[in-house]
Amino acid sequence: MSQAAAIPQEHGRFPYSAIVDRPPLRWPHGARVAVWVIPNIEHFLFDRPGAAIVPATTAFVPDVLNYSWRDYGVRVGIWRLMEVMERHGIRGTAALNADVVRHYPRILEAGKTLGWEWMGHGTNNSTMINAQSEEEERHLVTTVLDAITEATGTRPRGWLSPGLSETHRTLDLLAEAGVGYVANWVNDEQPYPMRVRSGSMLSLPYSAEINDYAAFIERAQTGEDFAQTIRDQFDGLYEDGAVTGRVMAIALHPFLIGHPHRMRAFDRALAHITSRQEVWLATGSEIADWYAQHHQAR
């Protein structure tokens, strides 16, 4: 059988659901919007290309310019981000490469003090999930979850793949390993259940739009541009949330948002969000638990 013939034309993970046809979703204390902030804390291998600010050197091995630009995030940017989020009472749900456990334990120490949640985020951000055999992928998932559990004392309940990458069996293997929610699918403003071979899986809204990588690298936005996009997104969701609750995901990379010229504007965007009353500042697991307990069975 050819490889093309083995690829299904339909994913089969969930039925179509129009948000206007669903029962109203209500968050705790009448909140209109559940806001979760997802810092992507990543390690990149030195011998291959990755995210780049200067494309001219990406073919170099090593590409010192772009590697060191990314390395800024774990050395400097994450600390500025933690300070600003703490100022606004926001606990992060960090998407964590397992290699971070070995290379940057100081970040985990600080995150635990702040009460952050940890999601699995692959081994490192140079290794996508797309070409592994089933056993290789199962080993990758288990190794990542075990490493984070050992380092933090808590087994991750959520998962965000590097580059949001999946094979056709990733969701099944995640559920098999005890993961309860995934953030790879960016197609909704509310959680929804996904079909898996065994166990259960919930999709939590993530964003390729309210994402500093898309903003700064793909769209060449300034820090103020991105902050205004965040405010506009929040205001729209807040208005819609009066009818049925919404989720706002803010996806961040410390090597991008962590620079002072961007962080000052982001600080103001968070102040705008936290100035409203009907907002729930939540972690991924808190959103998943509330939805499962109050809405999933309906």
Does a structural domain hold residue 12?
no
User: Burial of 52 by CB count in 10 Å (0-12 exposed, 13-18 middle, 19+ buried)?
Assistant: middle
**Residue 24, preceding peptide bond in cis (omega within 30° of 0):** no
CATH number at residue 110: 3.20.20.370
Contact 74, 254 (CB under 8 A): yes
User: Considering the domain boundaries, does residue 187 fall inside one?
Assistant: yes
**CA angle (74, 80, 83) in 5-degree steps:** 125
CA of 90: how far to CAs of 46, 141, 215, 227, in Å?
33, 28, 21, 16
226 within domain boundaries:
yes
Is 5 a domain residue? no
Structural domain of residue 276, as residue ranges? 25-294
Q: With beta carbons less than 8 A apart as the criterion, state whether 49 and 63 touch.
A: yes
How many CA atoms lie within 13 Å of 256's alpha carbon, on the beta-carbon side? 23
DSSP 3-state of 232: helix
Reference 99, options 132, 126, 128; nearest CA is: 126
- From CA 248, how far away is CA 130, in angstroms rounded? 28
User: Which candidate, 72, 184, 65, places its Cα nearest to that of 130?
Assistant: 184
Residue 169 inside a domain? The answer is yes
Domain assignment present for residue 11? The answer is no
Q: Sign (positive/negative) of CA torsion 240, 39, 53, 208?
A: negative
E strands in 187-237: 192-194, 201-203
The answer to whether the CB of 149 falls within 8 A of the CB of 114 is: no
Q: Are the C-beta atoms of 207 and 251 separated by less than 8 Å?
A: yes
* One pLDDT digit (tens) per residue for the chain, 298 residues: 344 447 789 999 999 999 999 999 999 999 999 999 999 999 999 999 999 999 999 999 999 999 999 999 999 999 999 999 999 999 999 999 999 999 999 999 999 999 999 999 999 999 999 999 999 999 999 999 999 999 999 999 999 999 999 999 999 999 999 999 999 999 999 999 999 999 999 999 999 999 999 999 999 999 999 999 999 999 999 999 999 999 999 999 999 999 999 999 999 999 999 999 999 999 999 999 999 999 875 4
The pLDDT assigned to 2 comes to 43
pLDDT at 177: 98
259 assigned to some structural domain? yes
Res 6: pLDDT: 72
Give the pLDDT of residue 296.
75
Number of domains in the chain: 1
Q: Domain for residue 10, yes or no?
A: no
